[in-house]
Amino acid sequence: MDDKIVDFTALLRANGLRVSMAEHLDAFRAVAELGVGDRESFKDALRAAMVKRAVDGPVYDELFDLYFSGLGAAIQQGANALMEAMQISEAEFQSLMDRLAEILQQLDVDLSELAQALLQNDSGRLEQLLREAAEQAGVQGIERSYQEGRYSHSTAQSLGLGGLSEELERLKEQLGRADLPPELAQRLADFIDQRLRDLREMIRRTVRIELEKRDQTQRERNRLSSLAEKSFYYLSEDELRRMREAVTKLAQRLKNVVSIRRRRAKRGKFDVSDTLRKNLQYGGVPFRIQFDRRIRDKPQVLVLCDVSDSVRNVSRFMLQFVYSLQDLYARVRSFIFVSEIGETTQLFEEHDTQQAIELALTGTVINVFAHSDFGRAFRTFHRDYLGAVNNRTTVIILGDARNNYNLPHEWVLRDVQARAKQVIWLNPESRLTWGFGDSEMDRYLPFCDLVEECRNLNQLYRVIDRLVR
């Protein structure tokens, strides 16, 4: 059993669970305490000792079942297949096997271990033989599904399938010569043939299980990281869904970073003069220690998000991010614009993410089917909301600056920059295309403190990281 636990731990590690040496030893202690008699408590014990992240739970469940009952299930399936093919019930199956054993004893036939295990459906023995054969054939090295055939073949070889089928042929002959009712003889022959087919299937399954064990999560993770580099413009429906999850996770990670950074800054330095002053009442004995209170920097964020048709796909994520930001900081005001501008702060507070984004993108706040006019939107912002910008505000503008040859009104941005702590522009277009055609990026650029291309998740993450620093 110890070997199995070691092996299983290695399997967990290969699938991205972090299991330390200490946890591994805990698992042994836990199993020693509980024994291996009860499958469920065995599973729970290993889980308590080695699985520490809730996200790893499902992976653990899957691997546990695969590892500790995968082969058993395969063997059971073999027996089921036989019962189905011969159309007999479990009791008949059992009696047929008993009958065969009886006859074999009468005929005084000596069978190999494998043949015996197979014909008596001894699952424990079969499992062990299959495992050993798979090990000899080096099935652990399997990596791709096209290798399945090859490994099945070599497993069959090390199991001695060739010898077995000869042995069973001989057995059938012997049975045929023996003095049996013809009907029974036929049945037994069928049974033996079927069992041989079952075994082939079992071997294939053994190899398949080994293949499935090889990192399921690894593949998953690879897909996610490649997703992070993919441009927002070219996402499929499924990727959109996965991207949403990724953005939410990103926001969560950010939340942790922010709270840690904020806490670190909480306590100020030892304040000598204030301490002396406060302690005059105690005769100058430093009784109450004073620290200077650092003023907490409460970041105020103001987001302007372009939701015109040209950036529709991107703005979905941007809005999702804005939504997460709003959860994160106490003071976030969000606006969306095409040629009109409208505030969405309230909307995001009252509805859940997807609903809020849907509402924002379908024209409840502003007309989203107009042609982009950054200049007009900015002018309206200047008129109505400039008061919201003060020296602690970070203004983030998300948009491609494609202005349909309208007046850009870049002076608004100049005014905003003069008042704000910083102005950040995130552009979902590639840097190379800025300033070409109707892109007014070059005109807006001088009035921004930071301009970033933001075409995929990784870039977004970098920007956000800079934002909270």
Partner 1 sequence: MFASIEDVIHRFAEQRYICNRRIATVVYLATHLEKPILIEGPAGVGKTELAKVVAAALDLKLIRLQCYEGLDEAKALYEWEYAKQLLYTQILKDKISEVLGGATSLHEAVDRIAKQDDVFFSDRFIVPRPLLRSITSAQRTVLLIDEIDKSDSEFEAFLLEVLSDFTVSVPELGTMRANQIPVVVLTSNNAREMSDALKRRCLHLYIDFPGSEQELEIVRLKVPGITDTLAAQVVEAVQRVRKLDLKKSPSISETLDWARTLTLLNAERLDEQLVNDTLSAVLKYEGDIRKAQDELKAYLQTQRARGTAEQGDDKDLLH
Per-residue binding string, partner 1, 271-300, x by CB under 8 A, is: --------------x-x-------------
The count of chain residues that interact with partner 1, using the rule CB under 8 A, is: 33
Check residue 350 for interaction with partner 1 (CB under 8 A). yes
Stretch that binds partner 1, among 36-44, 89-97, 108-116, 218-226 (CB under 8 A): 36-44
Cα separation, 109 vs 119, in Å, equals 13
Do the Cβ atoms of 27 and 8 come closer than 8 Å?
no
Check residue 20 for interaction with partner 1 (CB under 8 A). yes
DSSP string, 58-91: HHHHHHHHHHHHHHHHHHHHHHHHHHHHHT--HH
CB of 253 to partner 1, least distance (A): 9
Binding residues for partner 1 restricted to 39-58, rule: CB under 8 A: 40-41, 44-45, 47-49, 51-54, 57
Stretch that binds partner 1, among 14-22, 116-124, 177-185, 395-403 (CB under 8 A): 14-22
Q: Which of 80, 259, 281, 367 binds partner 1 (CB under 8 A)?
A: 259
Closest to 64 measured CA to CA, from 7, 108, 141, 110: 7
CA torsion sign, 232 to 238 to 240 to 244?
A: negative
CB of 267 to partner 1, least distance (A): 8
3-state secondary structure of 291: strand
CB of 255 to partner 1, least distance (A): 8
Stretch that binds partner 1, among 172-180, 259-267, 272-280, 392-400 (CB under 8 A): 259-267
Phi, psi of 270 (to 5 degrees): -65, 130
CB of 291 to partner 1, least distance (A): 12
Q: Which of 110, 183, 237, 352 binds partner 1 (CB under 8 A)?
A: 352
Cα separation, 224 vs 232, in Å, equals 14
Which 8-state DSSP code applies to residue 432?
G
Which residue do the tokens 């959860």 mark?
A: 327
- In this complex, which beta carbon is closest to partner 1, that of residue 133 or of residue 254? 254
CB of 34 to partner 1, least distance (A): 7
Pair type for strands 393-398 and 300-306:
parallel
**390 φψ region: left (φ > 0), alpha (ψ -120 to 50), beta (else):** beta
| Both tokens assigned to 89 | 């019930």
Q: Which of 2, 3, 33, 183 binds partner 1 (CB under 8 A)?
A: 33
CB of 348 to partner 1, least distance (A): 11
Check residue 30 for interaction with partner 1 (CB under 8 A). yes
- In this complex, which beta carbon is closest to partner 1, that of residue 65 or of residue 135? 65
In 230-343, which ranges are E strands? 300-306, 331-337, 341-343
b/e per residue, 121-158, with b = 16+ CB within 10 A? Answer: bbbebbbebbeebbeebebeebeeeeebeebbebbbee
Do the Cβ atoms of 82 and 89 come closer than 8 Å?
no
Q: Which of 23, 198, 429, 440 binds partner 1 (CB under 8 A)?
A: 23
CB of 41 to partner 1, least distance (A): 5
Per-residue binding string, partner 1, 204-243, x by CB under 8 A, is: ----------------------------------------
Do the Cβ atoms of 304 and 341 come closer than 8 Å?
yes
- In this complex, which beta carbon is closest to partner 1, that of residue 20 or of residue 112? 20
Check residue 263 for interaction with partner 1 (CB under 8 A). yes
CB of 171 to partner 1, least distance (A): 47
Closest to 92 measured CA to CA, from 82, 104, 107: 82
Check residue 26 for interaction with partner 1 (CB under 8 A). yes
Residue numbers at the binding site for partner 1 (CB under 8 A): 18, 20, 22-23, 26, 29-30, 33-34, 40-41, 44-45, 47-49, 51-54, 57, 255-256, 259-260, 263, 266, 285, 287, 350-352, 354
